[in-house]
Amino acid sequence: MQQQTVSAYKQPKAFYILFFVEMWERFGYYGLQALLILYLSKVFNFSDNKAYGTFAAFAALVYATPFLGGFIGDKLIGYHRSLTIGSLMLMCGYFMLSIPTQLLDAHGSQILFYLALGTIVAGNGFFKTSPASLLGKIYGPDDIRVDSGFTLFYMSINVGSLISMALCGYIAKAISWQAGFATCAIGLALGTITFFMSKKLIANYGSPADFEPLKKKYILPLTTGTLIVIVASALLIRYLGFTQWILSFVMLGAVLFYGILIKRTNNLERTKLIACFILTIFAIVFYCLYFQAPQSINLYVDRNVDHHIFGLFVPTASFQSLNPFWILVLAPCLSAFYKKMESNRGDFSLPVKFAAGIFIMGLGFMVLYISKFYADATHHVSAWWVVLSFFLQSFGELLVSALGLAMITKLAPPQFIAVMMGTWYLSTSAAAYLSGLLAKLASVPQGITDPAASLKIYSHVFYQFGWITMLIGLLVFCTAPLLKKLIIGSNRKVHITVKNPTA
């Protein structure tokens, strides 16, 4: 067949447009993520509890809105329009954050700050599922390039975040916080320009709505709804007491939707959706720990870690770039290992990879706990312990998150791919909110500046995170045989692996 003669690594031209658009969008978001908890702590002087709650509410909303945005892009306005609107709104949100606080009083600065975050939340809802959904459209049903394509696409996220986290940390340290946020906005501007200049290459791909004129009856409701989402998100991030109930209600609705979808599909689709749902629950456990990096680990690095690597000073926020760095280093190695396993007909199943990813994430936290025994006289630990912890966390991420997008594309019914992508991000939203609750366990009370006290708090909590997560990983491993049967669901094996991203 034709697909068999095509190299597994040579991608369609449309792929590279989506690669760079996603890369620049992630450049903007991860730059903000690296700076946000530090900005809340140092500029607004929030307590750890309030800073964690604010970050978690924002992150949860960022990952919740694609659930609705996926439907809008899929059924109403198309992926192309959704991506364009989202890019422009995200760029505006980052520019709003870059406005100097000296131009406003303290109250006005906070109002602008929350509205900026609300704009980013709404913009992300439009944008998030569109590139991945378009990517799924450019491959045929049996195209052997789909796995390597999604792996490369995942690499675009890490290229953007590596550059952004490293750069924004230094810019914020050397110039100002606002300069760091402006850098994020520039990334979105470059992504938007890339998309507009290359639209012809992806014009033939999209949802049915992409190939129809925009219906005027949608304009007013979508505009009004977007403004409501911006203001509501700003209020939910500002007034955290309401956020828990709203997010809980949304998550319950998502579960009910999933149940209805499972009930309405045929037997083959139903078994795959059930497996997808179970693996999504396991992924939530992983992401609860994953989101500790920009929260509790970020403040731990700021307070209890020596900031020198090879004699060079590294700002706190720039330590976050270790995650994408290790992803880029480990992905080719893991891919080569998979390739060797495939040649020997012994590749691991998707559930086993999920289990391993969760277990290895737990090991990453155990490393942070062990580091306390090697603290210096000032109760600071070597940066190399953080480097090792991020190595393990990133290894685990490759086994869970990189395969999650491919899992959705292969297991979801074709007519619901974008909505199911939204459901995947909604599960990440739940994890983001729960991660804030977990991070509060590591809160250092206001007024305590003694590194010995903070090190004791962090090491105790990281130990608890570590062993509990490792235990959950073992439990997932025990369920792997059953999940594998559900995923196969037919005589054709569903096979998801990470292909060599450097080939």
Q: For 328-363, write each residue's pLDDT tens digit.
A: 998 888 777 777 776 666 667 778 888 899 999 999
Closest by Cα among 501, 141, 212 to 339: 501
Give the pLDDT score at 5: 44
At residue 413, does pLDDT exceed 80?
Answer: no
What pTM was estimated for this model as a whole? 0.86
**Sequence ranges of the domains in the chain:** 10-488
Tens digit of pLDDT for each residue in 127-144?
988 888 888 888 776 777
At residue 222, does pLDDT exceed 80?
Answer: yes
Six-digit token string for 213: 């004129």
At residue 215, does pLDDT exceed 90?
Answer: no
The Cα angle at residue 249 between residues 441 and 227, in degrees rounded to 5: 100
Asked whether 294 and 36 are in contact (CB, 8 A), the reply is yes
User: Once rounded to an integer, what is the mean pLDDT over residues 413-433?
Assistant: 75
Six-digit token string for 228: 């409501």
User: CA 49 → CA 272, 296, 437, 461, distances in Å?
Assistant: 40, 10, 9, 15
For residues 98, 227, 239, 253, the Cα torsion angle rounded to the nearest 10 degrees is -130
**pLDDT level of residue 119 (50, 70, 90 thresholds):** very high
Phi-psi region of 8 (alpha: psi -120 to 50; beta: other; left: phi over 0): alpha
CB neighbour list of residue 60: distance below 8 Å, 6 or more residues apart: 243, 247, 429, 430, 432, 433, 436
> In the chain, pLDDT over 70 holds for what percent of residues?
88
> In the chain, pLDDT over 90 holds for what percent of residues?
51
User: Once rounded to an integer, what is the mean pLDDT over residues 482-494?
Assistant: 58
Kindly state which CATH superfamily the domain 10-488 is placed in: MFS general substrate transporter like domains (1.20.1250.20)
Fill in the amino acid letter for 197.
Answer: M
